[in-house]
Structure 1
Amino acid sequence: MKKVFKIIGITLLTILLLLIAVPFVFQSKIKEIVKRTINENLNAHVEFSDVNLSFIRSFPQAQVSVSDLLITNFEPFKDETLASAKSISLDMSIKELFKKANEGPIVVNEIYLDEALITLKTNKRGETNFDIFKDTEDQPETAQDSSKGFTLDVKDYAIDNSALTYLDESSNMAFYITELNHSGKGTFSGEVSQLDTKTSARVGLKIDSTEYLSNNDIKLDALIGLDLPNNKYTFKENKAYINQLPLEFQGYVQLLEEGQEIDISFENPGSDFKDFLAVIPKTYSKNLDQVETRGNFKIKGIIKGTMTEETIPSLDINMVSNNAGFKYPDLPKRVEDISINASVINTTGNADDTYVDLQTLNFKIDQDVFKSSAVIKNLTTNMTVDANVDGVLNLANLSKAYPIDLDTDLTGILTAKLAASFDMDAIENNAYQRIKSNGNLNIRGFKYASEDLVNPIVISEAAIVFNPGTIKLNKFDASTGKSDITANGTINNLLGFVFSDKKLGGEFQVNSNAFYLSDFMKETASNTKNNEEQTSKTTETFKIPAFLDCKINADAKTVYYDNLTLSNVKGNLYVKDEKAVLRNMSSDIFKGKLLLDGYVDTATTTPTFMMNLDMNQFDISQSFNDLELLQSLAPIASALQGKLNSTIALSGNLGSDFTPDLNSINGNAFAEVQTTEIKPKNEALVSALNNALSFVDFSKLDLKDLKTNLTFENGMVNIKPFNIKYQDINITINGSHSFTNTMDYKAVFQVPAKYLGSDINRLIGKIDDEAVNNLSIPVTANITGTFNSPNVKTDLTSGVANLTKQLIEIEKQKLINKGKDQILELLGGVNNPSTNTNTPKDSTNNTKPTSNPIKNVLDDIIKGNSSKPKDSTNNTKPKSVKDLFNESINKSKKTDSIK
């Protein structure tokens, strides 16, 4: 017995090994068969990653599977994907694999298609991308007719997780099937047979800009009769679901050379109003099991006729409900007195003659009654609409009566009595004479909040009046945060904005008592990283709505922006293409007047701006302390008290908080300062200058009528030379600084000789000439570092040389008539005191050069060791300076002339 089991085990193992090994032997043959079949039948480029043969998965049948199939088109849809599939599996008898061409067709029993994506397309010339099968006469001849070379005797087939898209460019139609799961059983080899199918999917349909189906759930259980010789498919026992609405239908579809003949009728099997709620997608209608309803609802339809390129079947689809109502168990309000009478009709077979007649759509919530009707024609060409609305609607009751998922609760009372008649072509081309509207629309107590808004918008009252050709906003009172807004004006193209992609235009007068920009600029929550103990805070960039095209005449009593308060803001604002253009804007700020023109552009990723500002009589201290731009242009001005007149032209980028990015700013400025007082204790730079240049009291600078020009580019501010005065000392300043406050400035002080101390004054007083009274020396102060940590260095080199040259020139002119030799001797002694033969020597006998006496005195003055200009009576007498200077003059051997 053990031997028998051993033989059986070996036999089974051998068979198993054969079942595993044989497919590898035939693998290449199977690939050749697949490729040959594709090339003989398709005009398309086909790729696949692998073809596998298995005797195990579907034993006792063989399974052939193709992985990662991709089919792309030739011209005129070159390289576009027609179809792709993760896998296609065909189950058949093993003997079918070894059939020869003269032994009859290959019979396939089961087909499985997984994750297929199919895109069917018809272009504007009527060419299709799915016409890829070769004509019969193009295929190679065989012993049998080619049509009998492949037969489906399907016992089972399935399509899982697949999708199909049909795009028709000629009619601007798009049809989508997603999440498609389809299975069926049937026999295709017989001339007359039937197919039992089950299908579920989501369906979308869009024609032009109108979406008729939007991801609607579809289920279909259908028994379809197949009359293959006549290409006729008959629906026998069929039940479908559109969303949750059950439909029973019958009829047939027959394929003709010129199109399809269709004769189908359908209706919902019951008449309960719950069937109407089932039409609404489940996402919005929720669970209907516990909903209490009353009244009836019936939908019936007939589609009959021929579908060709020129015609469609006639349509007669009706939806009727009378005296209906419903209430969801977990909601407090009931919807009552519902009346619906709607039809979709076409009697001619011409698609343009299809129309929708909504005779009645009425309902009531509490005491609010809402009535409407509409007729919509020319659905496929120039759609025309004739609509009427009359009713009152408490918006807060919508979510209390129907399970609407809203991000925020709506409140407000909407009252409308409106009649409108228009066609889409008139809207597209702004043919206002064909757009007729009459009536009014009012809303009170409306409140809307959103994550995109900093604060809820509350409209206390808005009133719109519709007249033929014009729509007027008669009243608009609203608030958000601490801001209030009132407006009135004219609205253009409201219907174009609602029904098409047109921009909303108009001209409005907008007033506000208090307008806070922070109420409209959203700041995201802080994100704290515990590991790094770091907190980051980001601000969303404000975007000007792209749909606006309007003019706004603004008048605001007070506008608050960051730390700035602007009063009596008036001007014009033009909004278009995500750009806001300011014209003739004026405001009171910093105890002066501001005028500005310019624009802000948010169409690009980084917002940009351009502004021309005219500042008149600004309070210097307040404006330079509160306005970051002025702080960056002239930080030292914060130490000044007085008035500023300035014109500034600038452009650059805006940051996420809508403030200028200083490193991107380019432009120029002109400033006129009218100062009354300087407070250097408030400014590190002024204090540093006081310490370095003690002969000037910077608190007493004369800055009256100071004027200067500035340019700024790439983060640098360049100041052209300008002059100020301290008593009778002229000061010239120029240089540049960055917006990060690093400086490179030069200040040249023209110091009169009389301020050089008593020693120098007595020395130059020996020159008996009035010209010495006009002598001055330039003292240069080089200012670097930052405004908070300045570095001031003085340069006397040019000053000493300049004073010496002036003294020599004066004396030369006096002595010119006394002889050439005398002048040369004097020049030699004064200009080169180091030639003095009586120069003292140190104990090492090394010659020690005598320092320039003028420079010594000046150094004392700069360092504060001598008298300041404000105290010329100082009697300090550095005798060494006098002696050295007298020695230089004595060596000239011209003492008589000096006396």
Structure 2
Amino acid sequence: MKKAFKIIGITFLIILALLVAIPFAFQGKIKDMVKNLMNENLNANVEFSDVSLSFIRSFPQAHVTVEDLVITNFKPFEGETFVSAKNIAFDMSIKEVFKTASDDPIVVNSISVDEALVTLKTDALGNNNYDITKEQEHAQTTATDSSSGFAFDIKDYSISKSALTYIDEISKTKIYVTELNHSGNGTFSDDTSQLDTTTDANVSMSMDSVQYLNQNKIKLEALIGMNLNEQKYTFMENKGLINQLPLVFDGYVQILEDGQDIDITFENPGSSFKDFLAVIPEVYSKNIENVETTGDFKVNGIVKGKISEETIPTLDINISSTNASFKYPDLPKSVSNINIDTAIKNTTGNVDDTFVDIKTLNFKIDQDVFKSNAVIKNLTKNMLVNANIDGTLNLANITKAYPIEFDKQLSGILKAKVNTAFDMNAIETNAYERIKNTGSVNLSDFIFSSEDIVNPIQINKADMTFNPQSVSLNSFEAKTGTSDFRATGTINNILGFLLSDNTLQGNFNLESNNLVISDFMVEDETATETSNKTTAANQSMKIPEFLDCTINAKANTVVYDNLTLKDVNGTLLIKDQEADLKNLTSNLFNGVLALTGKVSTKTDTPVFDLNLGADGFDIAQSFQSLELLQSIAPIAKAFQGKLNTVIKLQGTLGSDFTPNLNTVSGDAFAELLTTSINQNETSVLSKLDGALNFIDFSKLDLKDLQAKLDFSNGQVNVKPFNLKYKDIGIVVSGGHGFDKTLKYDAVFEVPAKYLGSDVNQLLGKINDPEVNNITIPVTANITGSYTSPKIQTDLTSGVSNLTKQLIEIEKQKLINKGKDEVKDLLGGLLGGSKNETTSDTTTATTDSTKTTTSNTVSEGVKNILGGLLNNRKKKQDSTNN
């Protein structure tokens, strides 16, 4: 016995060793066969990491696994992944592995696919990415194909943890199947057989941007009769679940050369209204097990006809319910008087003729009755809608009767009686002539919250009349944050705004008692914190993207940053996250503000380009409140009076929507209407006062002062402008930085009389009115900073130069005086001799006259000669000394 066990053990070990070792010998053959099979049959790029063979895993069958399979397309889908799979496994008889190249094809008995992703795509030109099989010269239609190296006699198969995507760009159809698990077993090689299958998956489907299924849970247990000769598959015993709605199927699908022939009927086996709740995805309907319902609910349908490139099966699907109700056990309200009569039909087989006829959709919550009906046609192309709504809804009751979760709690009373007829293309392109609306909508006590606004908007009252091509906003009263506003106007595309991604277009007249600009801005999407109440310090604000409108605004008070504007009037054009201000006027700083320009938040950093006009601003108030004015003209803070200015500026805005000063550029023209200076407000004037003691800067004549300047990159360049103090003219030029660094030159034209006693003594000696009016330029260089200025002047050198100038003038005057006296004397002498030579022709004078003339001439000559000698002597003495 021991020997027998020993022999059995040794034999078992040998067999086991062979089962482990032999696959390594044949693995290369299998790998080459898989490569050859794919290369011979596929027009695509095929890659896989490895092919393994095992006799142990599926003993007594061989198990072949292809790992990390990736198939990518050639043109016109070049580079796109068609199929990827973690592994694909084949089971076959061990004897199949030992076949030689001349033997029959290897027969595969089962296939399993794990974690596969398959994308089926048809582009706009009709090309299919799944048309990748090569045409065989001698195609075979049997279950075996010797040319391929493989034959299939499948007994069972499975697909697990996989996904399928179908995209048809022609019909704009998208189908997404996720979490797909499918298995089946049967005999495929027989002419007639049965296939027992189980499937569960999540399915989403949309056609032309209309979502029909959204992650709907589908389960199907189907026994399918297969007639392989006729390629006809019959549903024999079938039970399915769509979400939680049970359905039973009967009928068949037959594969034709040019399509498929379908004849299927289905219905829900019960008639409880709970089946209606089961149609709704569980994520919305929640647990319906304990929901109390009354009334009936039936779904039945027939799908019959041919699927081809030109046709679809005819459809006759009906959904009905009569006088039903439901109540969730943990919610206070119920929904009653539910009546549904809806049909989905297609009688021609033309896909464009499919339509949905909602004859009745009525319900009641508390005392609020809501009625509606609609016809929706042309589902796959430009959908046509004709709908009627008549009813009242307390919006707060929606979540009290049905377990739907909104981001923000709804409230308010909606009353509507509207007929609307439109096509979706008209909605998307704003073709108003094809949008027909009549009726009215009234909304009261409604609170609206959205990611597009900072604060919830509380709509106290909204009354709208629907006209054929627009909506008249008859009244609108609302609050948001600390702002209140009232509006009337016209809305051009309310359906486009509600049903599509269109902007809200219209013209509005807006009135407000208090309007805070930050209440209407939205938070930046890049912000790290979110809130529907406030904007965090590190967030920037945005102009809402959904607005495309013109607003004629009138407000008693508008608050922008730290500014309070009164009696604001103007027009605001908002589009593409840009606000265009037109003729905006306001009372501010006891004057009038006028503003035009643009503010844009399209880029990550908001930008502005504005023209600002100020008429009669109180200087002290404006420079106290506006950092921009302080930066442009810091010294003006010391002025008391009125300011007129025109400023053109552009730059970027910070997160609080105020200008980033280092980015601001532009130019300005300013006129000061002022009579006094507060020297305590500026150390610059105090420093000048000390350096130039002949000027009292508190008494500068600033009347009608005008200045031009430009600024960029944080620097202000001031064009030369004129000031005056008594009879002293002053010219100022230079510039400063927004950081309050100074670099100015002030040139003072100073009359000589202000320059000290020495200069005045010289003026007295000269005693000439023209000399008394002489002036010299004194330049003051102002550097440092506004709070710590440095003053340098050339006053000393100027006085010295003036003194030399005056001495020279006095000297020249004495010389010129001496020359004049000599000239007069010589002229007299020459004049006397000439008279004597002509005495014969003149009348003789009296003796007394002769005597006087003679004495005068003699005294003059004496004085001149004496003066000349004395001067000469003084010069000699001076030389000797």
TM-score above 0.5, yes or no: yes
Residue matched to 1:790: 789
Instruction: Give the aligned residue type for 1:623.
Output: S
Q: 1:400, CA displacement in angstroms?
A: 0.5
Greater CA drift, 408-417 or 185-194: 185-194
Residue matched to 1:415: 415
Once residues 341 and 877 of structure 2 are traced to their aligned partners in structure 1, the CA distance between those partners, rounded to angstroms, is: 128
Once residues 18 and 770 of structure 2 are traced to their aligned partners in structure 1, the CA distance between those partners, rounded to angstroms, is: 126
Query: 1:303 and 1:648, CA in 2 relative to 1: closer, same or farther beyond 3 A?
Result: same
Greater CA drift, 123-132 or 96-105: 96-105
1:57-81 alpha-carbon deviations (Å, 9 max, x no partner): 3344333222222211112222222
Residue matched to 2:574: 575
Matched residue of 1:766: which SS?
A: helix
- 1:631 equivalent to 2:666? Answer no
Residue matched to 2:327: 327
Q: 1:124, CA displacement in angstroms?
A: 2.4
Instruction: Give the aligned residue type for 2:565.
Output: L
Aligned partners of 1:526 and 1:538 also within 8 Å: no
Matched residue of 2:129: which SS?
A: coil
Matched residue of 2:271: which SS?
A: coil
Instruction: Give the aligned residue type for 2:96.
Output: E
Show structure 2 runs of 5+ residues with no match: 530-534, 820-873
- 1:467 equivalent to 2:467? Answer yes
Aligned partners of 1:372 and 1:387 also within 8 Å: yes
Instruction: Give the aligned residue type for 2:41.
Output: N
Once residues 806 and 65 of structure 1 are traced to their aligned partners in structure 2, the CA distance between those partners, rounded to angstroms, is: 112
Q: 1:21, CA displacement in angstroms?
A: 4.3
Once residues 731 and 403 of structure 1 are traced to their aligned partners in structure 2, the CA distance between those partners, rounded to angstroms, is: 80
What is the aligned-residue RMSD (CA, Å)?
3.0
- 1:699 equivalent to 2:718? Answer no
Once residues 267 and 766 of structure 2 are traced to their aligned partners in structure 1, the CA distance between those partners, rounded to angstroms, is: 125
Residue matched to 1:152: 152
Once residues 278 and 67 of structure 1 are traced to their aligned partners in structure 2, the CA distance between those partners, rounded to angstroms, is: 40
Query: 1:692 and 1:224, CA in 2 relative to 1: closer, same or farther beyond 3 A?
Result: farther
Q: 1:595, CA displacement in angstroms?
A: 0.7
Instruction: Give the aligned residue type for 2:88.
Output: I
1:499-555 alpha-carbon deviations (Å, 9 max, x no partner): 334332211111001111232346799999xxxxxxx96343332233322211100
Q: 1:157, CA displacement in angstroms?
A: 2.8
Once residues 797 and 139 of structure 2 are traced to their aligned partners in structure 1, the CA distance between those partners, rounded to angstroms, is: 103
Aligned partners of 2:523 and 2:540 also within 8 Å: no
Aligned partners of 1:151 and 1:188 also within 8 Å: no
Residue matched to 1:739: 738
Q: 1:773, CA displacement in angstroms?
A: 1.8
Query: 1:683 and 1:794, CA in 2 relative to 1: closer, same or farther beyond 3 A?
Result: same
Instruction: Give the aligned residue type for 2:125.
Output: R
Aligned partners of 1:253 and 1:263 also within 8 Å: yes
Residue matched to 2:35: 35
Q: 1:429, CA displacement in angstroms?
A: 4.9
- 1:517 equivalent to 2:545? Answer no
Matched residue of 2:302: which SS?
A: strand
Larger Rg: 2
Instruction: Give the aligned residue type for 1:39.
Output: N
Residue matched to 1:247: 247
Residue matched to 1:131: 131
Q: 1:83, CA displacement in angstroms?
A: 1.4
Q: 1:391, CA displacement in angstroms?
A: 0.6
Aligned partners of 2:452 and 2:544 also within 8 Å: no
Aligned partners of 1:778 and 1:798 also within 8 Å: no
Matched residue of 1:137: which SS?
A: coil
Residue matched to 2:401: 401
Matched residue of 1:468: which SS?
A: coil
Once residues 261 and 242 of structure 2 are traced to their aligned partners in structure 1, the CA distance between those partners, rounded to angstroms, is: 23
Instruction: Give the aligned residue type for 1:608.
Output: V
Task: Give the 5 Å matches for 1:224-303.
Answer: 224-303=224-303
Residue matched to 1:613: 612
Instruction: Give the aligned residue type for 2:281.
Output: P
Q: 1:768, CA displacement in angstroms?
A: 4.2
Instruction: Give the aligned residue type for 1:79.
Output: G
Aligned partners of 2:26 and 2:97 also within 8 Å: no
Once residues 748 and 213 of structure 1 are traced to their aligned partners in structure 2, the CA distance between those partners, rounded to angstroms, is: 82
Residue matched to 2:754: 755
Task: Give the 5 Å matches for 1:291-370.
Answer: 291-370=291-370
Aligned partners of 1:523 and 1:539 also within 8 Å: no
Aligned partners of 1:642 and 1:677 also within 8 Å: yes
Instruction: Give the aligned residue type for 1:146.
Output: S
Q: 1:395, CA displacement in angstroms?
A: 0.5
Once residues 762 and 876 of structure 2 are traced to their aligned partners in structure 1, the CA distance between those partners, rounded to angstroms, is: 15
Once residues 368 and 13 of structure 2 are traced to their aligned partners in structure 1, the CA distance between those partners, rounded to angstroms, is: 81
Q: 1:818, CA displacement in angstroms?
A: 8.0
Instruction: Give the aligned residue type for 1:350.
Output: N
Greater CA drift, 453-462 or 421-430: 421-430
1:267-291 alpha-carbon deviations (Å, 9 max, x no partner): 1111100110111111110000111
Matched residue of 1:772: which SS?
A: helix
Greater CA drift, 461-470 or 253-262: 461-470
- 1:726 equivalent to 2:725? Answer yes
- 1:444 equivalent to 2:444? Answer yes
1:13-62 alpha-carbon deviations (Å, 9 max, x no partner): 66555544444444433332221111011011112222233344334433
Aligned partners of 1:616 and 1:644 also within 8 Å: yes
Once residues 435 and 14 of structure 2 are traced to their aligned partners in structure 1, the CA distance between those partners, rounded to angstroms, is: 85
Once residues 13 and 780 of structure 2 are traced to their aligned partners in structure 1, the CA distance between those partners, rounded to angstroms, is: 104
Q: 1:498, CA displacement in angstroms?
A: 2.9
Instruction: Give the aligned residue type for 1:87.
Output: N
Matched residue of 1:57: which SS?
A: strand
Aligned partners of 1:96 and 1:106 also within 8 Å: yes
Matched residue of 1:329: which SS?
A: coil
- 1:687 equivalent to 2:667? Answer no
Once residues 109 and 319 of structure 1 are traced to their aligned partners in structure 2, the CA distance between those partners, rounded to angstroms, is: 44
Aligned partners of 2:605 and 2:653 also within 8 Å: yes
Aligned partners of 1:506 and 1:551 also within 8 Å: yes
Show structure 1 runs of 5+ residues with no match: 529-535, 821-891
Once residues 432 and 522 of structure 1 are traced to their aligned partners in structure 2, the CA distance between those partners, rounded to angstroms, is: 29
Residue matched to 1:553: 552
Give % identity. 62
Matched residue of 2:137: which SS?
A: helix
1:442-464 alpha-carbon deviations (Å, 9 max, x no partner): 01111234566443311111000
1:684-716 alpha-carbon deviations (Å, 9 max, x no partner): 333343344444332222211111111112222
Once residues 150 and 735 of structure 1 are traced to their aligned partners in structure 2, the CA distance between those partners, rounded to angstroms, is: 92
Query: 1:732 and 1:299, CA in 2 relative to 1: closer, same or farther beyond 3 A?
Result: same
Residue matched to 1:666: 665
Matched residue of 2:813: which SS?
A: helix
Q: What is the count of residue pairs matched by the alignment?
A: 818
Once residues 148 and 185 of structure 2 are traced to their aligned partners in structure 1, the CA distance between those partners, rounded to angstroms, is: 21
Aligned partners of 2:473 and 2:488 also within 8 Å: yes
Residue matched to 2:483: 483
Residue matched to 1:823: none
Instruction: Give the aligned residue type for 2:780.
Output: A
Matched residue of 1:28: which SS?
A: helix
Residue matched to 2:565: 566
Matched residue of 2:235: which SS?
A: strand
Residue matched to 2:838: none
Greater CA drift, 768-777 or 671-680: 768-777
Aligned partners of 2:527 and 2:538 also within 8 Å: no
Task: Give the 5 Å matches for 1:113-262.
Answer: 113-137=113-137, 145-146=145-146, 149-262=149-262
Once residues 789 and 138 of structure 1 are traced to their aligned partners in structure 2, the CA distance between those partners, rounded to angstroms, is: 99
Residue matched to 1:846: none
Residue matched to 1:105: 105
Query: 1:66 and 1:642, CA in 2 relative to 1: closer, same or farther beyond 3 A?
Result: same
Aligned partners of 1:585 and 1:596 also within 8 Å: yes
Instruction: Give the aligned residue type for 1:137.
Output: E
Query: 1:138 and 1:660, CA in 2 relative to 1: closer, same or farther beyond 3 A?
Result: farther
Query: 1:540 and 1:23, CA in 2 relative to 1: closer, same or farther beyond 3 A?
Result: same
Instruction: Give the aligned residue type for 1:645.
Output: N
Aligned partners of 2:759 and 2:803 also within 8 Å: no
TM-score normalized by the length of structure 1 = 0.86
Q: 1:104, CA displacement in angstroms?
A: 2.3
Query: 1:52 and 1:683, CA in 2 relative to 1: closer, same or farther beyond 3 A?
Result: farther
Matched residue of 2:229: which SS?
A: helix
Query: 1:197 and 1:685, CA in 2 relative to 1: closer, same or farther beyond 3 A?
Result: farther
